[in-house]
Structure 1
Amino acid sequence: MAHYIEKEEDMETSKVDDAPYRFGEYGPGYLLRGPRTDIGIVRLRPGDDASNHYHAELEETFVVLEGEATLWLDCTRQFTLRPGDVHRCDPGEMHYFVNESQANFRALFIKAPYDPDDGVQVPWVPGEPVPDLAPGR
């Protein structure tokens, strides 16, 4: 399906089912970008994960639409997210998703304020030591 964003004067629209996922069939897919927020869908197939990262200045909120995934916060706390769950990650809070279920997982995400460069990747997966981070985080 082709992704499109319609613009009419000051209004933009997009379709949730047409998100252009970063890795083809999975990953994050942006629906609207800026000027004040980013809105998108993250899709994880069974066994997929979304890399551990944090945002220095922006918050990211997730609204689970379908499926189930484990959310790890700061590499120490884990939560199972299911449809209808809403979770906000504060600036500086590392977050990592993994789909350990047998069904696809999809969640809407909202990042604000808009800053396309505010994302710090921190390599980590469950079972590894908590990473040392640079000063200032």
Structure 2
Amino acid sequence: MKGHAAAKKALRFVTSKDAEVELAPWGKHWWLSKPGLTGTEQLTLVRVTMRPGAGHQFHYHPAREEIIYVVEGVAEQWVDQEKRRLEAGEIAFIPTNVVHAIHNSSKKALTFLAILSPAEADGPFLIDCYQDEPWRSLRAPFTYPRIAPKTGRRKRRLT
């Protein structure tokens, strides 16, 4: 019974105010479940909105498997050297150590959920490999615009 009570304490609801928001070059992340936020030990859940033309370049997770679930829009999803078009309601499963990438080749925003397990592991969360072959030849690496932090000040127009 003791373990059951401890498990119940770890459960909680996460609202949009609770989510940890992060800006990445390819889009905005809302971390909805991860250690320190929900008390999870096995699952990480992040909601990502990717602007048209953006993408998360080829990378792999050395100690995690991942599921990508498309909520809205169309994803160009790579798993190893196989490319598929995923639409709302469809998933891709990415085993541990398998190179993958996701791109928004459409003219509308792409929203997807990424579920990773385990939530914590030794070593890096991910390793980029988009500059290595064969990945570089499959899809040219992106050049991302610099993300400037919001200062609350209005930008002046230069003339």
CA RMSD of the aligned region, Å? Answer: 2.8
1:118 equivalent in alignment to 2:125: yes
Letter in structure 2 aligned against 1:23: A
Deviation for aligned residue 1:57: 2.0
Q: Which one of 55, 66, 73 corresponds to residue 72 of structure 2?
A: 66
TM-score normalized by structure 2? 0.65
Could you tell me which runs of 5 or more consecutive residues in structure 1 were left unpaired when the two chains were aligned: 1-7, 131-137
Q: In structure 2, what is the Cα distance between the partners aligned to 1:64 and 1:19?
A: 20
Q: In the alignment, which residue of structure 1 is the partner of 2:94? A: 89
Q: Are residue 29 (structure 1) and residue 30 (structure 2) matched?
A: yes
Q: How far apart, CA to CA, are the structure 2 residues paired with 1:21 and 1:69?
A: 20
For residues 61 and 127 of structure 1, the distance between their equivalents in structure 2, rounded to whole angstroms, comes to 20
Q: Tell me if the contact between 1:38 and 1:112 (Cα under 8 Å) persists in the aligned partners.
A: yes
Aligned length: 122
Q: Identify the residue that residue 157 of structure 2 maps to in structure 1.
A: none
What is the match of residue 12 of structure 1? 12
Match of 1:134 in 2: none
Query: 1:106 Cα shift?
Result: 0.7
Distance 1:78 1:24 in 2: 22
**Structure 2 equivalent of residue 98 of structure 1:** 103
Aligned residues of 2:21 and 2:28 also touching (Cα < 8 A): no
Identity %: 20
> Secondary structure, in 3 states, of the residue corresponding to 2:136?
coil
1:128 pairs with 2:129: no
Checking the alignment, whether the CA contact within 8 Å between 2:26 and 2:54 is kept in structure 1 is: no
Q: Which has the larger radius of gyration?
A: 2
Structure 2, unaligned runs of 5 or more: 1-7, 36-40, 139-159
* Structure with greater strand percent: 1
Taking the aligned partners of 2:20 and 2:68, their CA distance within structure 1 comes to 16
Kindly state the Cα deviation for residue 118 of structure 1 after the two structures are TM-superposed: 2.8
Whichever structure has more helix as a proportion of its residues is 2
Task: Kindly state the Cα deviation for residue 26 of structure 1 after the two structures are TM-superposed.
Answer: 1.6
Distance 2:26 2:15 in 1: 16
Deviation by residue 1:25-80 (Cα, 9 ceiling, x = unmatched): 82443111132211111221101111211111210011110000101122x21100
